[in-house]
């Protein structure tokens, strides 16, 4: 399988604090890889390295074979790696249409003055409608983000990243704050959307072990800045030591 995103012996220090120590991982085409671990394990630091927000103290971060250390999320999106950044929390008064359009315009490198010209841009409108339909947001397309349900807000977060046409997408707890009954619906929508949109791999940072078990191809477990395990779900959940270390329980998840 083709390796799309990887780290090679990556370490990251903040002063005397060592957040990550010699992390080697790879995300292959067709995979959903979940990153799990207790608070303080280094998940956020790893995500920020993978998305170019941070540079490693040592080692390499590669996307499609090219070093992406510190290049930033905007440049990475141009190359085909996107992260859901929860735009709705930054622009709660934008409509669903406007929020998705902002991502589309960014990807197409078009110049525009606020949203005055969007109504006349057939290409942008077509892409916005397509993304909204994929995520089931079409009936709410002219609703401001602040008025959406929590589940709809989460879908809009992810839809904005999908609008960038990524090859790889990184999702940081896409169902946090959503009711248990809605979580699987959101994950199924996201995975179906990824297939329709041609996304080749997903990196999922998630605390909910039910979701991790149901949708992962591999699970990367971190503990105290090191790789504790890199295993398929059946082997991961068969190891009581891993379960206890990651979520503090010996049985169940």
On the question of pLDDT at 174 being above 90, the answer is no
Mean of pLDDT values over 195-224: 93
Length of the chain (residues): 253
Mean pLDDT of the chain: 87
Read off the pLDDT band of 184 (50, 70, 90). Answer: very high
Q: What average pLDDT does this structure show over 219-244?
A: 94
Residue 120 lies in a domain: no
Average pLDDT over residues 83-87: 69
Structural domain count, the chain: 1
Strand partners, 144: 95
Residue 222's pLDDT is what?
A: 95
Strands 201-205 and 218-223: unpaired
Q: What is the mean pLDDT of residues 104-119?
A: 57
Q: Do the domain assignments include residue 216? A: yes
Rounded distance between C-alpha atoms, residue 219 and residue 203, angstroms? 10
Handedness of CA 182, 187, 190, 193 (dihedral sign): negative
Span 11-37, mean pLDDT? 96
pLDDT-derived band at 55, boundaries 50, 70, 90: very high
pLDDT for residue 198: 87
Report which of 222, 230, 253, 227 is spatially closest to residue 240, judged by C-alpha positions. Answer: 253
Q: What gap in Å lies between CA 140 and CA 152, rounded to an integer?
A: 9
Q: Decide: residue 91, CB within 10 A, 0-12 exposed, 13-18 middle, 19+ buried.
A: middle
pLDDT of residue 215: 96
**pLDDT value at residue 111:** 46
Identify the residue with better confidence: 76 or 119: 76
**Is residue 132 assigned to a domain?**
no
Q: What is the pLDDT of residue 253?
A: 42
Q: What is the mean pLDDT of residues 29-41?
A: 94
Q: Evaluate whether residue 22 is within a structural domain.
A: yes
> Token pair 């999702």 is at which residue?
171
Q: Provide the pLDDT for residue 249.
A: 53
Q: How far apart (Å, rounded) are the C-alpha atoms in residues 145 and 230?
A: 37
Give the model's pLDDT for residue 252: 44
Give the structural domain span for 253: 1-80+166-173+202-253
Is 217 domain-assigned? yes
* Between residues 183 and 72, the one the model is more confident about: 183
Strands 58-63 and 218-223: unpaired
Instruction: Give the dihedral of Cα atoms 128, 131, 137, 143; nearest 10 deg.
Output: -20
189 within some domain: no
* Alpha helices (H) along the chain: 43-50, 73-79, 87-90, 96-108, 122-134, 150-162, 180-197, 209-215, 233-236, 240-247
**pLDDT at 102 (0 to 100):** 84
Residue 106 located in a structural domain: no
Confidence of residue 1 (pLDDT cuts 50, 70, 90): confident
Asked if the structure places residue 124 within a domain, the reply is no
CATH (domain of 235): 3.40.50.300
Least confident span in 8-12, 174-178, 188-192, 234-238: 174-178
pTM over 0.85: yes
User: Is the pLDDT at 112 greater than 60, yes or no?
Assistant: no
């Amino acid at each position: 399988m083709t390796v799309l995103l990887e780290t090679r012996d990556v370490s990251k220090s903040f002063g005397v604090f060592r957040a990550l120590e010699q992390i080697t991982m790879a995300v292959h085409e067709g995979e959903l890889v979940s990153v799990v671990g207790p608070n303080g394990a280094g998940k956020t630091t790893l995500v920020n390295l993978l998305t170019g927000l941070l540079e490693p103290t040592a080692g390499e971060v590669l996307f499609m074979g090219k070093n992406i250390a510190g290049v930033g999320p905007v440049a990475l999106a141009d190359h085909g790696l996107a992260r859901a950044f929860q735009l709705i929390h930054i622009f709660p008064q934008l409509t669903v249409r406007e929020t998705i359009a902002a991502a589309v315009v960014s990807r197409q490198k078009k110049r525009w003055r606020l949203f005055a010209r969007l109504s006349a841009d057939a290409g942008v409108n077509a892409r916005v409608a397509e993304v909204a339909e994929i995520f089931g947001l079409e009936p709410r397309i002219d609703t401001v983000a602040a008025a959406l349900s929590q589940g709809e807000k989460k879908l809009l977060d992810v839809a904005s990243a999908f609008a960038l046409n990524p090859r790889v997408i990184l999702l940081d707890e896409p169902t946090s704050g959503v009711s248990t009954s809605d979580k699987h619906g959101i994950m199924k929508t996201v995975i179906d959307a990824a297939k329709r949109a041609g996304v080749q791999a997903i990196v999922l940072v998630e605390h909910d072990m039910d979701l991790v078990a149901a949708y992962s191809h591999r699970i990367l477990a971190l503990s105290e800045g090191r790789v504790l395990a890199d295993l398929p779900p059946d082997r991961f959940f068969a190891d009581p030591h891993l379960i206890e270390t990651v979520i503090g329980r010996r049985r169940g998840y």
